[in-house]
Amino acid sequence: MKNILFTMFMFCIIYAYGQEKTRLSLEHYKNYEWTANPKLSPDGEQILYSRTWINFTDDKRETDLWIMNSEGTSNRFFLNGSDGKWSHDGSKIAFIGSTWSKNFYNDRKMYIINSDGSNLKCVTTSLDQTPGGPIWSSNGQGVYFNVREYGQSNVYYADLGGKVKKVTDGNHMLGMTDLVGKKAVATWTNPSNPSDIVKFSIDKSSNIKRLTEVNNDIFYNVEFGQVEEITYASKDGMKVQGWIVKPPQFDPNKKYPLVLRIHGGPHSMYHVGFNYNFQLHAAQDQVVLYTNPRGSTGYGYEFANAIQNAYPGNDYDDLMAGVDEVIAKGYIDENKMYVYGGSGGGVLTSWIVGKTDRFAAASVNYPVTNWFSFVGTTDGAGWYNNFEKYPWEDPSEHIERSPLMLVGNVKTPTMLMCGENDLRTPISQTEEYYQALKMNKVPTVMIRFNKEYHGTSSKPSNFVRTHGYINAWFNRHSTKK
């Protein structure tokens, strides 16, 4: 009996102790933090690392650099920034920083500071592009970094005084990852080659040597479609860059279907790296058009921020001007034009079919269709910054820019796809649009992807399904009625 009482007593103590702890709730998320990218100082005595925190109450997310000793017994805030890297002698730290604002897009710059926190200097003031993470030069007099601009990626260098120069040049996506002396290694891809490893001398950067050909065993006898760069004027004269992928054995005297592919983000950049998806379309005798409309990165701060409080907006004109540019070349069948995109591309696709019926079919993938309901359900509350006012203050802007409000104009057969676990553009956005299309008797189907978050292609089998569904939908509605 005594043993039973003792056991019950101990159980009560253990249970009571457990009850003192609380369960995880959104209150914890208000000050949630995580760490990343630890870097040892050259003497091995200190660790520089990134620490990101979220304050949901104030709608702020910030990444800071912290320094602790190698034993973990001291830990201190250093400054706001990310991608920190020690110089070879440990006297300086290079990092990426940004001035926070409520703009939809905030640009970043490269900074260098003494490791004691003195003499902070921005070394890319003259560069209207976003730098990649720093790689210190061997002599410690500056940093190299990758820049994605104008559909390409190349290496730049900034010295300690802030003088910036472009180091490599080429119609490729070159991403330098390490440097010893003058010997650099990088990943490299171009329109006809998936990514491989290359090396080059930093002072003879035109002499790039390819070290791997990992896809040679399957692509050695495959003919790819040619990729042609175009630059054209939008409705208001804004210059826009894009690319056309032509089918293998292209005949300019034939008429081909056109597929307009729209990127997401919207702050991202289509580029000249190999794209398996585009080549699949080309292999099916379709011409592909992909462009970087307003809001895209790689063209400077003003271009990227041109859709602030105006998305969708003039980016629609940029896309339609690109379609007109390709049609003017004389080889497009205007009754067989299709459009699709995911995320931000889904936003614009749903906007397009509400504004024009020039496309025979469309696929709206993991979109935002109703800004009013979206900003209250997405996992990215920063989307509120894309509007001048909160919806409870004045809902008119959220309503006017919602593709759902144009659904009464839609005549284009429109398929929808979304992952069931999507928190970024929740599947409810797809469901709202699908129901509206059904009510208006527009040909439509909705495909729900199990165990997919934001996108439909995290698994290779789902990538294949996505492409198959899109082409099946286009083939079913192959000609504009």
pLDDT at 155: 96
Are 280 and 467 in contact, with CB atoms under 8 Å apart?
yes
- CA atoms of 288 and 228, how far apart (whole Å): 10
Asked if pLDDT for residue 205 goes beyond 80, the answer is no
Average pLDDT over every residue of 308-314? 91
Q: Is the pLDDT of residue 56 over 60?
A: no
**How many Cβ atoms sit within 10 Å of the Cβ of residue 442?**
17
Other C-beta atoms lying within 10 Å of the C-beta of residue 214 = 11
Computed over every residue of the chain, the mean pLDDT equals: 88
Q: Which of 70-79, 264-273, 387-396 has the lowest mean pLDDT?
A: 70-79
Predicted pLDDT of residue 376: 82
pLDDT for 378? 86
Please tell me the distance from the alpha carbon of residue 268 to that of residue 151, in angstroms, as a whole number. Answer: 10
C-beta separation of 387 from 307 below 8 A: no
pLDDT higher than threshold 50 for residue 8: no
CB 418 within 8 A of CB 449: yes
pLDDT for the residue 27: 55
Q: How far is CA 247 from CA 24, 120, 258, 284, 285, in A?
A: 54, 52, 11, 7, 5
Domain 223-476 top-level CATH class: alpha beta
Domains of the chain, by residue range, sit at 26-167, 223-476
pLDDT of residue 314: 93
pLDDT more than 70, % of the chain: 91
* Residue 111 pLDDT level (bands cut at 50, 70, 90): very high
- What pLDDT sits at residue 379? 83
pLDDT at residue 58 greater than cutoff 80? no
- Please give the Cα distance from 372 to 402 (Å, whole number): 8
Tell me what pLDDT residue 213 has: 93
CA 204 to chain centre: 31
Domain 26-167 is classified in which CATH homologous superfamily? YVTN repeat-like/Quinoprotein amine dehydrogenase (2.130.10.10)
Q: What pLDDT is stored for residue 83 in this prediction?
A: 87
Residue 427 has pLDDT above 90, yes or no: yes
Provide the CB-side half-sphere exposure for 469 (13 A, CA): 24
pLDDT at 175: 95
**39-67: string of b/e by CB count within 10 Å (b at 16+)?**
bebeeeebbbbbbeebeeeeeeeebbbbb
The pLDDT assigned to 51 comes to 81
Sequence-distant (6+) residues with CB within 8 A of 244 are: 227, 228, 230, 287, 288, 289, 326
31-45, 149-163, 187-201, 272-286: least confident range: 31-45
State the Cα–Cα distance between residues 430 and 452, nearest whole angstrom.
14
Query: Which tokens is 276 given?
Result: 């398996």
Query: What pLDDT is attached to residue 59?
Result: 56
How much is the pLDDT for 61? 66
Instruction: Please report, as a single letter, which amino acid is at residue 61.
Output: R
pLDDT at 126 over 70: yes
User: What's the pLDDT band for 31 if we cut at 50, 70, 90?
Assistant: low
In tens, the pLDDT along 269-304 reads 999 999 999 999 999 999 999 999 999 999 999 999
Which pLDDT score is estimated for 19? 46
Q: pLDDT at position 384, please?
A: 78
State the Cα–Cα distance between residues 135 and 44, nearest whole angstrom. Answer: 18
pLDDT band for 14, please (50, 70, 90 cuts): very low
Question: Is the pLDDT confidence value at 9 over 50?
Answer: no
**pLDDT at residue 100 in the model:** 65
- Alpha carbons 472 and 475: distance in angstroms, whole number: 5
pTM above 0.85, yes or no: yes
DSSP reduced 3-state for 462? helix
Please write the tens of the pLDDT for every residue from 385-410: 788 888 899 999 999 999 999 999 99
